[in-house]
Structures are given as structure tokens and as C-alpha cells.
Amino acid sequence: MNATTSTRLHAGIVLASAGRPALLSDLTSRLAHQTVSPVARVVSVPDEASLPPDLDSGWTVVTGTRGLAAQRNAGLAALGPDADVVFFFDDDAIVRRDYLEQGLAFFAAHPEHVGLTGRVLLDGAASRTYGEVDLAEADRLVAESEHEPLTGAFRAGRTLFGANFAFRRSAVPDIEFDPRLPLYSWLEDHDFARRLMRHGPLAQVDDCVIVHRGAASGGRTNHVRLGYSQLMNPVYLQRAGSFPRWLATWELFRPIAKNVAASVGGPQADWRRERLRGNGLALGDVLRGRITPERITSL
């Protein structure tokens, strides 16, 4: 795609991270070499211990908020008015150096679109074969992809992959992530995408390229809390009007089925049973008419 068309648009970046300063350092040091400079860059973390010591002074730092949705909202609030397009990356993403340039070019060439997600070369979080992708391998894959010709190809989408996505803020200036989805903010990216779709189409853009390393959590995952969100959040999002009933049903039963299957035995059995316990607590609340995604903060 001819990136010269992107000069009319300006990029902002929001990163949310917690307890993973080394990963955040890997990402921010590479974002410094993007072929288009953003007009604003924000890192949103719960505390200063989550910041890498080598963080460039060009980043605006927001502290004091915990939870992915809340941290991303804090980042949006601190971004300032100049960014037409806002890019979000997980802290364990490795981003090709022309990602911003190609994303802006796409939005300039397709003014009807309000959101995009990129092409993931390898997702360590989803791959049973590879598992977590080490930094050298991620760098190699991204560097090799730079030799591919730019195609401008894209496909219509109905969701945004939370590890890398962008939205046209100038078209939807007041949108934010749902603050009722605390901590892990299960399905916050999917909910955000569904609400964006009310304003225009979404796309998966081949020329925006990343590797998602799929790094393990910086802290111990509370599987009871996560299991609670797996059931409660789809129900809440359907009641809130974001998810149609079929989608809420799919997003509810898919992780529960995995928990049931893996709880019988094997290396995942213990924590899958904890998630099932959380699933059960959420089911009890739903049956009592209590639609309370916030309850995970007290579990």
C-alpha cells in the first residue's frame, strides 16, 4: 500500500502492562524505530515497578490503575487530542517497523473503516507446537517478513485481536473500554470491536505485521477469578447489548468446555478445576439475577 496517503492522519500508541518490565522494554525499544513517528505515546501501568528502567522519555506514563480495560481507558484519556488513529499493542508483541505507516495508509485509503487488526505471523499463546516465542525468533520472523511485497490486501473482520489493533479515533472520539470488566477484562477487545462496528466496518490488514510471543503472566493467575469472568462476562455483554445471544452463548460454552475436558487429568487439571469453580460461582450469580462482572475483585 502506498503509505504517502497516510500523511493526513496522525498516530497515537497506548500500551497497557502490569508486572512485566522486561517485556515492555522489548516492545518500546522496537517501537522507537517505526517508520512513522506517533504524535503521542502512552504507557499505562498500575505502579512504577512495572516500568522498564530504560523507558524513553518520549513516553507519557500513567500509573495507579489496574486491569486491562481500565488501563487502556487511562491511556486514552492521557493521549491528547492530536491522534486521529490509536494503536494498541500487548506488551509481548513484536511489531514490524512499518506497522504504523501501513495502518495509517489503510485508514487513509479506506475512510469508511473504523478499526483494523494486523496479520499475526506466530501466536505463542495459541500455538501448542511453539508455546512462548523467544525474542530472537520473534525478531527473525518480523525481519524476514519485511522482504515480502506490500499488497494492500485486507479482509472484512468482526473482531479485533487484542494483541494488536487500531481504531479511527476521529470517527468515534468518545468510545472507551467497558469499565465494568475489571482485572483480566475478559472479552474487552471483542466487546470494543462489536461497539466499533456500529460506526463502520473492521478489517484484518495483511501489511500490518506482528508476532505475539504469548509470554506467561507477570504474576500468578487467579484461575477462580478468570473462570468467573469466562461465564459472567458474556452474559453481561449480551445484557448490555454488545453481544448478540448466539455470540454470548459461543463465548460462554467454549472456555467452559475446555475447562471440563482438561480437568479430568493431565498437567492442566488443577488450574482447570479452579476455573470450573469460578464458572460455578458465576453461574450461581446469574441464576440469582446478579449480573456482576465486578465481583471478581472480591473473590
Give the confidence band of 131 by pLDDT, cuts at 50, 70, 90: confident
Tell me: do 14 and 44 sit in the same domain. yes
Q: Do both 200 and 232 map to the same domain?
A: no
What residue numbers bound the domain in which 249 lies? 223-298
Query: Does residue 199 share a domain with residue 231?
Result: no
- Residue 141: partners with Cβ closer than 8 Å, 6 or more residues away: 121, 122, 211
pLDDT at 127 over 80: no
3-state secondary structure the chain: CCHHHHHHCCEEEEEECCCCHHHHHHHHHHHCCCCCCCCEEEEECCCHHHCCCCCCCCCEEECCCCCHHHHHHHHHHHCCCCCCEEEEECCCEEECCCHHHHHHHHHHHCCCCCEEEEEEEEECCCCCCCCCCCHHHHHHHHHHHCCCCCCCCEEEECCCCCCEEEEECCCCCCCCCCCCCCCCCCCHHHHHHHHHCCCCCEEEEEEEEEEECCCCCCCCCCHHHHHHHHHHHHHHHHHCCCCCHHHHHHHHHHHHHHHHHHCCCCCCHHHHHHHHHHHHHHHHHHHCCCCCHHHHHHC
What integer pLDDT is reported at residue 149 of this predicted model?
96
Question: 282 and 185 in one domain?
Answer: no
State which of 184, 212, 240 marks the end of a domain.
212
CA distances from 156 to 106, 153, 261 (A): 13, 10, 33
Residue 175 lies in a domain: yes
| Whole-number pLDDT of residue 114 | 98
Residues 232 and 267 in one domain: yes
**Bridge pairing between strands 115-123 and 164-168:** antiparallel
CA–CA dist 95, 28 (Å, integer): 10
Q: Looking at the predicted structure, is the pLDDT value of residue 176 above 70?
A: yes
The whole-number pLDDT of residue 218 equals 61
Q: How confident is the model at residue 126 (pLDDT cuts 50, 70, 90)?
A: confident
- When pLDDT is averaged across residues 164-184 and rounded to a whole number, the result is 95
Mean pLDDT of 16-36: 97
CATH number of the domain within which 159 lies: 3.90.550.10
pLDDT tens for each residue of 86-121: 999 999 999 999 999 999 999 999 999 999 999 999
pLDDT at 221: 79
Instruction: Work out how many domains the chain is built from and give that number.
Output: 2
Query: Would you place residue 219 in the very low, low, confident or very high pLDDT band (cuts 50, 70, 90)?
Result: low
Assess whether 291 and 197 both reside in one domain.
Answer: no
Residue 128 has pLDDT above 60, yes or no: no
Q: Which of 212, 235, 262 is the last residue of a domain?
A: 212
CB 223 within 8 A of CB 134: no
Same-domain check for residues 23 and 136: yes
Q: Predicted confidence band at 130 (pLDDT cuts at 50, 70, 90)?
A: low
CA–CA separation, 288 and 87 (whole Å):
40
The verdict on residue 218 lying in a domain is no
Residue 217: inside a domain: no
Give pLDDT tens digits for 76-92.
999 999 999 999 999 99
Distance between CA atoms of 239 and 262, rounded to whole angstroms?
29
Chosen domain end from 190, 212, 234: 212
- Residues 204, 174, single domain; the answer is yes
Question: Percent of the chain beyond pLDDT 90?
Answer: 90
Mean predicted lDDT score pLDDT of the chain: 94
pTM value is 0.93
Query: Do 91 and 191 share a domain, yes or no?
Result: yes
pLDDT at 3 over 70: no
Residue 211: what residue type?
V
pLDDT reading at 72 higher than 60: yes
> What is the model's pLDDT at position 205?
98
Q: What is the pLDDT of residue 125?
A: 83
Above 70 in pLDDT, residue 2? no
pLDDT at 7 over 70: no
Q: Check whether residue 188 and residue 263 sit in a common domain.
A: no
Amino acid 50 reads S
